[in-house]
Structure 1
Amino acid sequence: MALEITETAMTATVNNEVIATATRSDCGWHVTAWPRPLDRNAAITALSLAERVLTHGEDDPCVNEWRRELARD
C-alpha cells in the first residue's frame, strides 16, 4: 500500500489503484471509506483500514480493532 498525504488530501493505493481518499474541510477529514469526518491521524488509520480490509478481509482482528478505535473518536 502507498499513502500520499498533502495538506488538503490523502490517497491510499494498492497496486497503483486508488482504494480510498480523504479530503480536508473545515470540520475535519472526509474519508471515502468512513461515514463521518475524522481528525488527521484517524483519517490515516481509516485509509490503512481500507487497505487491510481489501488484503485480509472483514474478519481480520486488526480490521475489527481499528474500526473500534475509529468509532471511539
Structure 2
Amino acid sequence: MALEITATRMTATAAGKVIVTATRTDCGWHVTTCPRPVDRNTAITALMLAERLITHGEDDPCAQDLRRELSRD
C-alpha cells in the first residue's frame, strides 16, 4: 500500500491501483468512502481502513478497530 498525502489531496493505492481518495474543501475532507465531510485525521483513518479491508478482509481485528474509530465521529 502507498498512502500519499498533500495539503489538498490524499490517495491510497494497493497493488498499483487507487482504492480511495480524499479531497480537501472549505467544509472539510471529502473521502470517496465516506458519506459526509470529515476532518484530516478521520480522512487518513478512512484511507487506512480501505487498504486494510482489501489486503486483510472484513474479519481483520485491525480493520474492525478502524471501523469502530470511524463510527465515533
Identical amino acids, percent of aligned pairs = 73
| Residue 31 (str. 1) matches residue 25 (str. 2) | no
Inter-partner Cα distance in structure 2 for 1:50 and 1:7:
21
CA-based RMSD of the aligned residues comes to: 1.0
Instruction: Determine the structure 1 residue equivalent to 2:5.
Output: 5
Aligned length: 73
Runs of 4+ in 1 over 4 A off after TM superposition: none
One-letter identity of the residue aligned with 1:23: T
Stretches of structure 2 lacking an aligned partner (at least 5 in a row): none
Inter-partner Cα distance in structure 1 for 2:71 and 2:28:
15
Per the TM alignment, residue 56 of structure 1 is displaced from its structure 2 partner at its CA by 0.8
Instruction: Determine the structure 1 residue equivalent to 2:16.
Output: 16
Query: CA offsets per residue over residues 12-58 of structure 1, 9 Å max, x none?
Result: 01122100000111111111122221111110110010000001111
Stretches of structure 1 lacking an aligned partner (at least 5 in a row): none
